[in-house]
Amino acid sequence: MLPAGACDAHCHVFGPAGRFPFAPERTYTPVDAPKETLFALHERLGIERCVLVQASCHGKDNSAVLDAIAASEGRCRGVAMVNADIGEAELLALHDGGIRGVRFNFVTHLGEGADPDAVRRIATKIVPLGWHAVVHFDADRLEMLTSILKSLPLTLVIDHMGRVDASQGLDQPAFRMLLDLMQDKRFWVKVCGSERISRAGPPFRDAVPFARTLVERFPERVLWGTDWPHPNIKKHMPDDGALVDLLAEIAPDTEHLHKLLVGNPTRLYWPEETS
């Protein structure tokens, strides 16, 4: 059972392609994963709110995310992808549509990484809106990215535990680097993606020590999500119910669990409720 108000802070909608075509520059073409299916999953899992993250297969066209937010009666907010030359009016329209952050991808399998100059320009433009940046990177890029990320003037949320390789243990350089970065209070981390960092396979229990360490050390700056519909998972498509069950081991302390699923996402995505 999840606490009342639980939020899935990382999930996607894809298409339907007939209404929201995929971007020509995409690196993969998913099957349709429409909002109705996502909302039904959330109902089944006991999840009341969610944050829709723009996926690379839709490029910089955030229409599918905005459509889902509009249909959610305030239960969804979103993270967009935008071009560096975006204007203030367009950003304000995204804000009105429920967007509260911008995502930057530095992941090899999703194509060319975000250009650092573009990242800086966008970051400067979104600061006045109170938005944050979501950064998605391969673990071996963290060293190269650290100085760029630290130079940005806003809150940064790291996707999927920095995509470390769970088989390399808690003492691996990439995880130590992630823990170091988290000492800076502007950084948050999502303890989702157990199925991505696991090397042991279902139920992905080898990912738990990483997630639990992050929750215990930084209880105020962690988020969790399903990552439904799990783009680019090839080997072991996770059962979302099993991912929810892992939370009992990731955050066995009820206060930590409440922060992870309710308090923290509310502070970041529905700040008007906490001030």
Residue 57 interacting with ligand 0GY (CB under 6 A):
yes
**Residue 105 CB neighbour total at 10 angstroms:** 20
In the complex, least distance from residue 238 CB atom to ligand 0GY, rounded to whole angstroms: 12
Size of the site for ligand 0GY (CB under 6 A): 11
In 110-168, DSSP assigns E strands to 132-137, 156-158
Cβ partners under 8 Å of residue 121, min gap 6: 84
Residue type, 211: A
**Residue 1 CB neighbour total at 10 angstroms:** 6
Q: Which of 2, 8, 56, 211 binds ligand 0GY (CB under 6 A)?
A: 56
Task: Say if residues 150 and 184 touch (Cβ distance below 8 Å).
Answer: yes
> And the tokens for 262?
């309710």
CA dihedral of 180, 215, 140, 206, whole degrees rounded to 10? 140
Residues identified as active-site: 227
DSSP state of 208: H
Binding characters for ligand 0GY, 157-186, by CB under 6 A (x = yes): --x---------------------------
Tokens 């399998």 appear where?
A: 109
Residue 61 interacting with ligand 0GY (CB under 6 A):
no
Nearer to ligand 0GY, 55 or 182 (CB): 55
Binding characters for ligand 0GY, 84-123, by CB under 6 A (x = yes): -----------------------x--x-------------
In the complex, least distance from residue 195 CB atom to ligand 0GY, rounded to whole angstroms: 10
In the complex, least distance from residue 58 CB atom to ligand 0GY, rounded to whole angstroms: 8
Which residues are at the interface with ligand 0GY (CB under 6 A)?
Answer: 12, 55-57, 107, 110, 136, 159, 227, 231-232
